[in-house]
């Protein structure tokens, strides 16, 4: 898989879901349901293994990237990219 971008928070949510599904393995006696859960765990682990984790900044100004050649400065500071949180209505 390519082109999957997650925040650290999203990564942690997926890891929590994996742990929850793995805990259910111990309680499930139905092999079909167990196989279904294993498939979900495998899929989530595949997503995590191929995802790029991006940092999150409150605003563009928090990146400290000036308007002079921002692509060069952005690439040095955030080589994989950055997520800028949406400001209220901006």
* Residues contacting 87, CB < 8 A, separation 6+: 59
pLDDT tens string 52-81: 998 887 766 666 665 555 555 666 677 777
pLDDT at residue 48 in the model? 94
pTM above 0.75, yes or no: no
pLDDT tens string 11-45: 999 999 999 988 877 666 667 677 888 899 999 99
Give the number of other Cβ atoms within 10 Å of residue 65's Cβ.
20
- Average pLDDT of the chain to the nearest whole number: 78
């Amino acid at each position: 898989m390519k082109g999957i971008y997650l925040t650290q928070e999203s990564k942690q949510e997926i890891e929590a879901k994996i742990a929850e599904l793995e805990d259910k393995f111990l309680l499930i006696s139905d092999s079909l349901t167990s196989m279904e859960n294993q498939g979900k765990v495998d899929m989530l682990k595949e997503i995590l293994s191929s995802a790029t984790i991006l940092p999150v900044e409150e605003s563009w100004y928090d990146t400290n990237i000036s308007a002079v050649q921002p692509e060069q400065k952005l690439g040095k500071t955030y080589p994989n990219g950055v997520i800028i949180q949406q400001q209220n209505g901006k």
